[in-house]
Structure formats: C-alpha cells, structure tokens
Chains A and B, each alone.
Chain A
Amino acid sequence: MRRPRTDLALVLWLALAACLFVALIPSSVAVLRVPLCLPLVLALPGYALVTAAFSPGELRTAERVTLSIAFSIAAAMIAGLLLELFRVRLTTAPWMALLTVFTFAAAWWGNVRGHARPLAMRAPPIRPAQAGALAVALALIAGAAVLGFTPLAPPKGTQGTSVLWLVPAPHGRNAVCVGVINEQLHDTSYEVSVSVARKLPQQFGPITLAPGASWSRVIPLVLRRPLVNASLSKTKTSVSYRSAVLRDWNISTARC
C-alpha cells in the first residue's frame, strides 16, 4: 500500500477507513468507533471542501480548522435533509455513504484545482518538563472524570420510597400484573395483597428487596375484567400504605 503524499489523498484514505470501521466494528464498541469513525462526520468533509474552495496560502491554520469543522457540521445537516427529502431513513449506511461521496467529490475538485498540499507532519518538540506537565494534566482529568461519573452515597436525609403498581396483563390475557419497586435506601420486606371483585384477597410475601430491586407477578383471573384492588404493606408494620385499583380495562399494556 502506498503512503498518501498529499493532504487530500490522506482525507480520502481516512474517509474510506472510517466507512470500513463503521461497517466492521459493532456499534456497541464506542471506544473504537468514536476515534476511528467520527472524523468522517466532524472533520473530513469540511476539510475537503475548504481545500477545494480556497488556495493553499489563503487561510491560516486556525482558520482552516475552524472552517473545516463548520463545513463538516453543515455537510452532515445538508446530507440529513437530502435523505429526508428523498424519504430515505436517516440510518448509518445512507448517511455515511452520502458524506463519503461528498468528501470524495470535494477532494476531487480540490485536486483538479491544484489545491492539494504535500503532507508535512512535524510534531512540535516537547521538553521533558512540558511532557511531565501534560502527563500530570491527563492524570488529573482522568481522576476528575472517574470521580464525576461515579454515583456516590446519598446525602443525609435523602428520601426513599416504595412503589406498588397494577396493570392488565398484555396481549389481551385475562390476568393482571402486580409489582413492587423498592426505592428505599435499605433492604425492605413487603407484603402484597390483591383482591378480585372484592373477594378474599390473595397474599404475597414477605418479599425482601434490595434498594432499586423490583418484584412482579402475573395473576390469572376467572372473571372477565373485574374490579381489582392491590395494596402494599411493610412486613414489620402490616399497615397498608400503597394501593392501586384497576377499574377500567381499556388500557394497553406493553409488557409486565
């Protein structure tokens, strides 16, 4: 494989590589897809257009970077609008394909106009102290991110709650679904009582749930669309403190 010798050739290689990565790397592996594929969205189309439109010495580096990003954003939007106009769904494949075509067209135009620039990669010299400062800075940013993105213990006095829910079973089954969500800040034991058509209630429990955990049951019914009442009590107190009622069955349920 020949090494690209101009900036526009590099743009073409990178655009192709980004398309390939999008096709090959599963979308769940964001760690790889972000650095490998996002340049096609945020930099390459704009850079190709800037290079095509402006002669090499016309822009300062900062101006070239600014316009490249702005044009790339605009290209992403225009491509999206075009897809919408032609009733094509805005999914990855057509959107990427359109951006790649746009990038190739702009790069070709730039080449035709003689605006391609030879590649001259020069890393700025870094003194040891500067390298050390950069390393410490990166470590601090990583530390800030780890601390910032970690859920911490709740403040003193944070209020928890308990949830009781009751819905008709999905798909027209003659049954109800009842459930409990424990949003308390500690393990809690519950008892659930469900009565159908005001008859003797069915009891469930004790149900011990960790914070954030949930419990549910599907209860088959004999009667067609009866009145269903449910109540929730804590095992310690046995006092009902949450209640749910199903009177009208005209409600759609997706799942229990």
Chain B
Amino acid sequence: MTVPVTTPAQSPRAAEQSSALGWLPWTFLAVAAGLMAASGADALSRTGHNGGSPLFWLALALMIIPAAFRLCGARARPGERIATVVVVGMGLYAVKILRDPFGFTYGDEFAHLHNLQSILASGRLFGANSILPITPRYPGLEMLAALIARVGGMSPFAAGVTTVAVGRLLIMLALYVLYARLSGSERAAGVGALLYAATPNFLFWSAQFAYESLALPLAVVALFVTIRWAQERRPGMRWPWELAFAVVAAAVVVTHHVSSYVLVAFLFAVCLIHWRLHGRAGAPWLLAAGSAVLTIIWLALAAGGTVGYLSPVLTSALKQVIQTLARETPTRTLFANQGGEVTPPAEIIAAMSGIILLGLGLLIGVRLVWQQRWRNPLMVLLVLCGFVYIGTLPLRFVPAAWETVSRAGDFLFVGVGLTVALGIVWMLERGRNRHPVRRRLGFAAAIMIVFASGVIAGWPANERLAQPRRVTVGGHTLDPTAAVAAQWSGRTLGAAQRVFAQDADARYFLTDAMQPSFTGDFAPDVDYLLNAPTLTPGIRSMLHGYGVTLVVSDRRAISSDNLFGFFLDVGPPSLTPAVPALKFDTRGANVLYDAGDLMIYGVRGLW
C-alpha cells in the first residue's frame, strides 16, 4: 500500500530562509484575535444585543484564512504546519467552550455527564442511565474524564471539557500524520487536516462531551497505524504496529459503538480493495479481523443492548428514504431549524458555494489520484468516501435520515479532506510561478467558504452564539428555572427519587439532582403522560411500573426543546395548556414545588 511521494518538499533555500517557528506566532495571534472576537460575539448575544453574528464570522475568518494561506504555501516546515493545524483545531474548539462556559447545554452531554458523575460517586463503571441507557456500556470517554477529574482535581464539567480537548488535539495530529503518510506531502497533509474542520459537525456537534468526540480521533489513529503497518516491509517488524493497532482499536471499541463498527467496516473494505487490486496477500486482514473480534467480544460481554438501540434509528432512516423516493412523505426543509427559523439568504449562498467548491476540489483530487495513486487501497477507499459524502448530501432532505447522514459525514469527511487537499496542492503547484500570493489568497478564501458552508449546514444560525445560561444581577447570579428546580430537588429530596419530565428538564434532573429521569415518547411515553388531560388508570400504572416519585410539569413549550431548553427565558414564554398539569394536583399527590410554569408533584401516593 505504499504511496509514491510526488509532491516536492520545500527547497533548501526556502527552509533556510524561514525561522524555526516560521509564521506560527502570527497564525497563533490571528487565532487568538479570532477567539477574542468570538467571545465578544457571545457576550453580545448573552446580553441580548445585536451584532454578534458578523463578529462570529470575523472570528472564524481570523482563525481559518491566515492558517489556510500559510498552509497552502510551500515554505513552511513540517513542524510549523502541524502546529498551525493544531492551533486552529484547538481555537475552533475554544469557540464551542466560549458558547457554553458555565455548563453543558447539548442534550447528549447531560447523559454523558451523568455517567461521569456516577463513576466519580460510586467508583464503578456500567451504572444506569435513564435517558440514554446504552451510554454507560461504552465508558471509554467517561473513564478518561473521571481519571482527569480525580488526578487534576477538576469538576466533572471541567474534566469533560478537558477530555474533549484531548480528543480534538488528537484528531488534528492524527489527520495530519495520516494524510502525510498517505500522500507523501506535508503540504497536502496540512491543507487536508485544515479542510477536515469544514465537516458540518466539527465546530459544535463534534466538540460536545459525547463518546464520538473521543472515539473518532482514536479511529483516525487506528487508520494511521494501519497505513504504517502496510508500509513496514521488514520481515518480522510488523508486530509493533499490530500491538499499536490492538491498543488503539480496543480504546475505540470501549468508547463508541458506531465508531468501532465503522472502523471494522473500513478495514474490511480496505482488504477487499487490496484483494481486487493486488491480490489477497498483504492486505490488513489481521487488523480487520482483530478489530472485529474486539467489537464482537465487547458487544457480547458488555454492550448487548447496542443492536436494539441502533436498529430502530437505522430502520426508520431507511424506511423514510424509501418513502421519500416514492414521494409518500414530505421532505425536510433545508436551511430551517426545528422552530422554523430560516437561514439568512447570504448564508444560503455561502453554503451552496461551499458545496460547489468542495465538489470541484473533490473532482480535481480524484483525477490526480486516478492518474497517480489509484492502486493504494486506503487512498482508493478514502476517495470513495469523498464521493459517498457528496452522494449522501441529498439525503439531508429526508427527516429521519438527516441525523444519520449528518453523523456519517464526520467519518466520510476523512476522505474528503485528503482528496480535496491533493487537488488544491496540485493546482497550486501547476502554476506556481504565476501570482503565487494571489493564488494562495484565492485558495485560502475558498477554504474559508467551504468551512463556512460546513458551519452553516451543521448548526442553525440562531444557535451558534451563546444564550443566557447564567446571568448576574446586582452581584448575584441566576440560573435557569429548570436548573434551580433540579438543584433544589437533588439537595432537598435526595437521589432516591425517580422523575418523569420534559426533555430539557429531565436532563437537568439527571445531572443536577442525580435523580433517574425519564423523558420522550417511547418506553416510557412520558410525553403522553404529561399532556393527557386527565389522570387515567393507565397513567397510574405507568408511574407504578417505573417507580416514579416525582413528576415535573413544565408548561413552557421550550422545555421540550433539546437545543434551547437549557437557558433563561427571554420574553414571555410560549405556554402549553394548563389542564394537563393540573391533573396531578389531586388526592394522594403532593404539590412540592411551585415556580409558576414549572411544578414538581410528589406522585408516590398515586400508585
């Protein structure tokens, strides 16, 4: 699987001219200025002022354009290139931290935070999680966070943020070394790793405290180990790489189900392509089989419920794709979030331009790979991933498939990054003597547009900036109603309660009260229970069945929103009818907590 090195390294004269750090201090300064702008944009948003959005885009431009300009050049040394990629990756991660500086605010983060709290409190793995029951069966992320919390003396939130920061550092490094080994070009490696930041989920979703944020970087390391294993030609010297692969693959397997399955599938695909191109011998069968065995062992011993957890999601996505093709179900509206807020026209234009540029880059990269490198199985597979990524974009019209496609994009973009980077480097080298600065500026601008396109596609416009999660009034701090209720419940009633609540409230009760909390419309159907106008025998039976002692009734419509439900209410909240809430104020039940729209009922007496 060795790849010929075709891209020239920098000339000795150029290397002499550049200092050891090169432009790194200036790139670092630009990223820092971007962070200051991002912090200012969040501050404007948190205090209800306009002007945050232009500042947000300025922040991203400051982080991406100077780095892209430098990485597109031929003079930077490998050390400067990799440091630039890492600085940008960490800077973009800091944008997410500045958005949520006081606590986690993504739905899945609460579930993982609960697992972490559980490990810290009990010293045991595989605890229970009432909101995402499968997550404790993959404790890799929380184990690392727990160790960081214990050793560093940090809060669970700080430990979680640090853990994902380590994951972010690792993926930037891993992409660089993988691309460098595959392409033989440090320039393509730097541009490719930077381009990966254009994955729609990179800025926000993949920066959350959730298992994929650590598993994907480890999986990329596993791919790097695979390519090094394949490049090792000395007889009997492959065992260190096999050992390395086993260690890293084991970490992937205990961290995230989908990442481990993708890794297994990817390696078997590499084997099959190798078989087709070069014959059966020499393919990484051992690594593929080893990762499959580890995955199956984990599935059998610790995570048996994974199939039942994943199959409804995939089945539903597949079913809706077929129904959409048959025009039996309406398509999803692009560039509009759940609340119906539409993306500004300028952003739509930028998003479409980014996709077109990405497609062009992909075509040029494929052409190059076709001409020069097509017999390398891993390279062929990564190029195919690029095509599949573009091919899956129309599936974003299908409501049930949208999320699956969006998450698959994180894996497929590993191929897009390298292929497009090869195309860019080829174009840069093709006309290297004609207006080199202007050409590099053009490519830096194009990379910024592709990156902006990813940000626009990945996260709705009104959710990119910080919301008021914690405010200060006259020297006193105030938290959202649901957080205050959960903290009161945990402090006053203790952890021996079981709670039914709306989506956002249930997450606060799970982490801030440490009380098992149930939500949603399936097993149990808490939404039905909360919205039913009267107290039926079926509802009493459901309460009994789940041993529920508290029902949190929240009339604020926002409490069922997993994106916006974690913040203070600005303006009068939209309310649901009062009747369903009042049904619990009946004989045998207690009204323990009255915050107006949010009530906590003690329902043990209703069983």
Contacts and interface: CB of A to CB of B under 8 A. Distances in A.
Interface of A: 18, 22, 25-30, 33-34, 37-38, 40-42, 49, 53-54, 60-63, 65-67, 69-71, 73-78, 80-81, 84, 89-92, 95-96, 124-127, 129-131, 133-134, 136-138, 140-141, 143-145, 147-167, 177, 181, 183, 185-187, 210-213, 232, 241-248, 250-256
Nearest to A134: B25
B182 interface: no
A74 B170 contact: no
Contact of B590 (A89, A147, A246): A246
Contacts of A41: 144, 147-148, 151
A157 B593 contact: no
22 contacts: A27-B153, A30-B152, A37-B152, A62-B78, A62-B82, A62-B177, A69-B173, A70-B170, A74-B248, A80-B125, A81-B254, A89-B124, A90-B119, A147-B36, A148-B43, A153-B471, A153-B473, A154-B478, A165-B592, A167-B492, A211-B478, A243-B591
Given A153-B471, A251-B549, A91 B150 contact: yes
A213 B473 CA distance: 12
A22 to B, nearest CB: 6
Interface residues of B, number: 116
A218 to B, nearest CB: 12
A159 B166 contact: no
B240 interface: yes
Contacts of A81: 125, 143, 254
Contacts of A61: 79
Interface stretch (B94-102, B195-203, B325-333, B400-408): B94-102
A69 B169 contact: yes
Interface of B: 19-21, 24-26, 28-29, 31-33, 35-36, 38-40, 42-43, 46-49, 78-79, 82, 94, 97-98, 101-102, 119, 122-126, 139-140, 143-144, 146-148, 150-154, 158, 162, 166, 169-170, 173-174, 176-177, 180, 214, 217-218, 221, 224-225, 228, 240, 243-244, 247-248, 250-251, 254-255, 468, 470-474, 476-478, 481, 484-485, 488, 491-494, 496-497, 549, 568-573, 585, 587-598, 602, 604-605
A248 B604 contact: yes
A241 B124 CA distance: 45
A172 to B, nearest CB: 14
Contacts of A211: 473-474, 476, 478
Given A151-B470, A163-B594, A246-B590, 18 more contacts: A33-B153, A69-B170, A69-B173, A74-B218, A74-B250, A80-B125, A81-B143, A124-B20, A130-B21, A138-B32, A151-B472, A152-B471, A153-B47, A159-B568, A163-B595, A244-B593, A247-B605, A250-B604
Contacts of B593: 163-165, 244
Contacts of B585: 245
A252 B496 contact: yes
A244 B153 contact: no
Contacts of B568: 154, 158-159
B493 to A, nearest CB: 6
